[in-house]
Amino acid sequence: MTDPLRLGIAGLGTVGAGVVKIVQRKANLLAMRSGRPVVITAVSARTRDKDRGVRLGEYAWEDDPVVLARRDDVDLFVELMGGSDGPAKAATEAAIAAGKDVVTANKAMLAIHGQDLAATAEAAGVALRFEAAVAGGIPVIKSLTEGLSGNEITRVMGVMNGTCNYILTRMQSAGLSYDAVFREAHELGYLEADPTLDVGGIDAGHKLALLSAIAFGTEVDFAGVQLEGIERIASADIEQAADMGFRIKLLGVAQMTGRGLEQRMSPCLVPADSPLGQLEGGTNMVVLEGDAVGQIVLRGAGAGEGPTASAVMSDVMDIARGIRVSTFGQPAGSLTRPTPAGTATPAPYYLRMALQDKPGALAKVATALGEAGVSIDRMRQYQHSHETTAPVLIVTHKTTREALDKALAGIAGTGVADGRPVAIRIEAV
């Protein structure tokens, strides 16, 4: 009989418990599909006595995940603790040094240390897999490293943080303010312990950096991701975008340009009738574009026990079958160091501002835009009840962010704008 694949699982939170459930409940299915039994031999977590809704008494327990990673009865180390450094990184390094394959859901660790860990794993002859680190249950890593490996990828984009998508779609459907929906998301447990990881775009930026490395054959460069969160999005932006046929999404975009690797995670307007525009709630969507395949759209649950545990098990099953794929789709030593694109690809922008309600204000704004080389496609002034300011909406023609920033500085210098205008890129999808 073929020897079983023996798992050591570090981290028994939502995802870890989900993996244990799949191994326990689907033992026969896993054995039939992989050709060998898949079993758990040892586990580790911060607290031993917590009720996690799964049977753990039959497994060895280690308080220290590093000790777990080195156990002789563990073939595959499954890291589900999280955190870019600390125990997760130490245990992963220990597992690789001990000749163990590693499966992780840790996007933060890989976004910061992925290149070094991949090179170390490759030198040790072990696998380092991370399907669960990006977009939950959507098999986007496998799609890029395997299904689309014959393509030159031209662009990767998507909605990769379900919490932000929930906030933005809830603001639209319920007509609620950002602050109200933020509090609601917090009460529902949707936000990270540090909410900035979600609403500031950091969590999604980690994921985009990983996808970029695979798509363009570059070393992971999270520092090169331009980050902007959703904190400044107001109900007025949601309503006025919809009035023009758009929806607002926290959108990640990566593409290789003549200027270098462009990686952005920021709020964007997308057509309301596009797949991205129709994405609701906490669902994720990743759009991949290749020279041979064209555009494909992957949609599914971006988080949660079942979807993320499913992604973990997809990597476990590949290793059980003997399938070995380089961490980022090609040998770590062949990945090139990317040159970050200094500027983003030109695009039209949506501008919302409050102008003093007096003659000549609009003319001064138009002049400031023109002097910066930014032309106006559409301009609209909405009815208002405020005595001193009037809400004005402008859509520009394609322009660079640098020209737009120059224009915004010029508008601020006119003295007719009340506060800082909101500027949101309109992305072609």
The CATH number covering residue 76 comes to 3.40.50.720
Q: What is the pLDDT of residue 276?
A: 96
Mean pLDDT over all residues of the chain?
95
The answer, yes or no, to whether residue 380 has pLDDT greater than 90, is: no
CATH of the domain at 156: 3.30.360.10
Q: Rounded to 5 degrees, what are φ and ψ at 102? A: -130, 135
Percentage of the residues of the chain whose pLDDT score is greater than 90: 89
Please report the sign of the dihedral spanned by the C-alpha atoms of residue 280, residue 133, residue 37, residue 77: negative
Q: What confidence tens digit (pLDDT) does each residue in 168-223 have? A: 999 999 999 999 999 999 898 888 888 999 999 999 999 999 999 999 999 999 99
Provide the pLDDT confidence category of residue 385 given band limits of 50, 70 and 90.
Answer: low
Q: Do 270 and 214 reside in the same domain of the chain? A: yes
Among the candidates 239, 268, 301, a domain finishes at 301
The answer, yes or no, to whether residue 1 has pLDDT greater than 60, is: no
Residue 87 domain flag: yes
Among the candidates 43, 77, 104, a domain finishes at 104
Q: Do 283 and 165 reside in the same domain of the chain? A: yes
- What's the number of domains the chain is made of? 3
Q: Do 190 and 281 reside in the same domain of the chain? A: yes
Q: Do 354 and 260 reside in the same domain of the chain? A: no
Q: Do 159 and 280 reside in the same domain of the chain? A: yes
CATH of the domain at 365: 3.30.70.260
Q: Do 158 and 291 reside in the same domain of the chain? A: yes
Q: Do 72 and 190 reside in the same domain of the chain? A: no
Catalytic site residue from 207, 249, 364, 406: 207
Q: What is the pLDDT of residue 386?
A: 62
Residue 186 domain flag: yes
Q: Do 203 and 280 reside in the same domain of the chain? A: yes
Q: What is the pLDDT of residue 334?
A: 97
Q: Do 29 and 151 reside in the same domain of the chain? A: no
358 is catalytic: no
Residue 204 domain flag: yes
The answer, yes or no, to whether residue 267 has pLDDT greater than 80, is: yes
Q: Do 190 and 268 reside in the same domain of the chain? A: yes
The answer, yes or no, to whether residue 387 has pLDDT greater than 80, is: no
> Which has the higher per-residue pLDDT, 31 or 387?
31
Residue 324 domain flag: no
Q: Do 96 and 172 reside in the same domain of the chain? A: no
Q: What confidence tens digit (pLDDT) does each residue in 33-71 have? A: 999 999 999 999 999 989 999 999 999 999 999 999 999
Domain containing 358: what range?
Answer: 349-426
The pLDDT of 141-151, averaged and rounded, is: 96
Among the candidates 266, 301, 336, a domain finishes at 301
Residue 244 domain flag: yes
Enter the pTM of the model: 0.94
Give the C-alpha separation, 98 to 93, whole Å.
Answer: 9
Residue 236 domain flag: yes
Give the C-alpha separation, 271 to 428, whole Å.
Answer: 8
Q: Do 155 and 289 reside in the same domain of the chain? A: yes
Residue 270 domain flag: yes
The pLDDT of 251-268, averaged and rounded, is: 96
Q: What confidence tens digit (pLDDT) does each residue in 64-121 have? A: 999 999 999 999 999 999 999 999 999 999 999 999 999 999 999 999 999 999 999 9
Q: What confidence tens digit (pLDDT) does each residue in 283-316 have? A: 999 999 999 999 999 999 988 899 999 999 999 9
Residue 160 domain flag: yes
Using CA atoms of 393, 397, 400, 403 in order, give the dihedral in degrees to the nearest 10: -60
